[in-house]
Structure 1
């Protein structure tokens, strides 16, 4: 049973006139008659009555018409969806992200992408940079929001933002009276820092900045998540150095202050496999470029 025969049958059933149906289908009348006859052979029963040049549906044809319309509609929908998927308007985009991306970059990018392509399914997963690099390399995610350094030659990256480190202080701490805090002023403070599992480069960089300011930070607590670090700072366990943007919090609980030292900013990048040819990824990258 051929799809083109079903299309011809539906049009002929709607017109109940071979000439008009053939004209709609851009066929000759003999060609249309042959297609209907072939369909009736496939089905095994007559679908049309032909009495004194009057053309009508048999009871079997009336039943068959509803199913034929549904098949034709679903075939058209499938073809249309395939075309949209080819253009990147349908499909699934799998995104990994580091936690520090959730406070500004990720909401901005995903809101812009959702507005532009509402029919694309987004799946998002919180992952450290190291886990994202592995997931990108193994094909488990399509694109990641992560913090360099990245030593993976199969990935392409694009900088989304360059973010500073800021000091997180317990509410009421004497240093909150300053607009900017020098790192040296933290020399005697207990520190709450990211775990090395979060990414050794982050902890190493923070320790390196402190050592350049003349001291080694006294780490009393480590945590993998920035929200947990902020909670520990609010509880008075210590101070911290965090990558901005930071979780919103009341000043009386945790106060954020810029660092007065001249230290490098920290890049947030989009990373994706160079050989990923998914059209939906191309669409996301185009939106990200504009956003």
Structure 2
């Protein structure tokens, strides 16, 4: 007894007519009769009473029909669940976040996503950009939210917003009363920056601003976390650069724009061959929340 036997049996049990059942199965009557005979032989019982005006199920046939319905119901359920996993309607979506994105924005994106995909469990990991790129390539993450742009043939970068990076100064600093800073204002200051391997393009852009007349800036520390850098600024250990959106979280320091530093793109990152429904939905959720 196999699924083919059961499928033929199910249709015949519902039609109780070999001609109609064969037409429904899109086969001729002889193959259908052969399949039913093989099924009856394997079970050692008759499944149908052959009558002049049709057929009816025997007691054994009625029992088999009940179980056959359960079998096909389970098959449909299995197919639906597998299809859902393939399309990421259920299962787990692994998302990476670069440090510096406001938690409120992430929470809003999760809420938007879960409204349409509440069967998917979302995991969030925070790493520097270089680590997120590696994890995306190794299929350890489905999607990452990073500062960019990111140029890699294996990856798809989608810009969704821009983020201003400001100079962060401690309270009472001589430059704190300025509305906007220039490169010359930063001469002879000490800086707490991020490691170049974390965000090479951003590190290089900032260093370009800080090099004045060929002089290298004074860097006292390099840390990955923007929040840790801001806290060290508060302690008077130097100045740093951080996303302007963080200033609401740190009223005890001053965020000042640098007139020559352009806004930084924020976007999503995924493998080029991975763009299932859940990834698209999460990208759209980030587009709505990261403004």
Does the pair score TM above 0.5? yes
Change (3 A) 1:97 1:260: closer
- 8 A contact 1:180–1:257 mirrored in 2: no
Distance 2:12 2:59 in 1: 10
- 8 A contact 1:95–1:141 mirrored in 2: yes
Distance 1:269 1:245 in 2: 16
Deviations 1:79-135 (A, max 9, x none): 223444565645654433311235466445444333333334544432322223333
State the Cα RMSD in Å.
4.4
- 8 A contact 1:98–1:129 mirrored in 2: yes
- The CA deviation at 1:180 is 3.8
Change (3 A) 1:232 1:12: farther
Q: 271, 277, 280: which is aligned to 1:280?
A: 277
Change (3 A) 1:117 1:208: same
Distance 1:78 1:286 in 2: 28
Distance 1:90 1:110 in 2: 15
Distance 1:41 1:66 in 2: 19
Equivalence map 1:197-276=2 (5 Å) = 197-212=197-212, 216-246=216-246, 248-251=248-251, 254-274=252-272, 276=273
- The CA deviation at 1:75 is 0.6
Distance 2:94 2:113 in 1: 13
- The CA deviation at 1:50 is 5.8
SS in 1 for 2:211: helix
- 8 A contact 2:166–2:258 mirrored in 1: no
Change (3 A) 1:47 1:257: farther
Distance 1:257 1:213 in 2: 25
Change (3 A) 1:111 1:73: same
- 8 A contact 2:162–2:266 mirrored in 1: yes
Distance 1:164 1:233 in 2: 18
Structure 1 range deviating more: 208-217 or 154-163 = 208-217
- The CA deviation at 1:76 is 0.4
TM-score normalised over the length of structure 1: 0.71
Distance 2:38 2:247 in 1: 69
TM-score normalised over the length of structure 2: 0.71
- The CA deviation at 1:171 is 4.3
Distance 2:89 2:167 in 1: 43
Distance 1:38 1:217 in 2: 86
Give the count of matched residue pairs: 283
- 8 A contact 1:187–1:215 mirrored in 2: no
- The CA deviation at 1:244 is 3.3
2:163 maps to what in 1?
Answer: 163
Distance 2:87 2:201 in 1: 38
Distance 2:275 2:50 in 1: 56
Structure 1 range deviating more: 163-172 or 104-113 = 104-113
Distance 1:174 1:115 in 2: 48
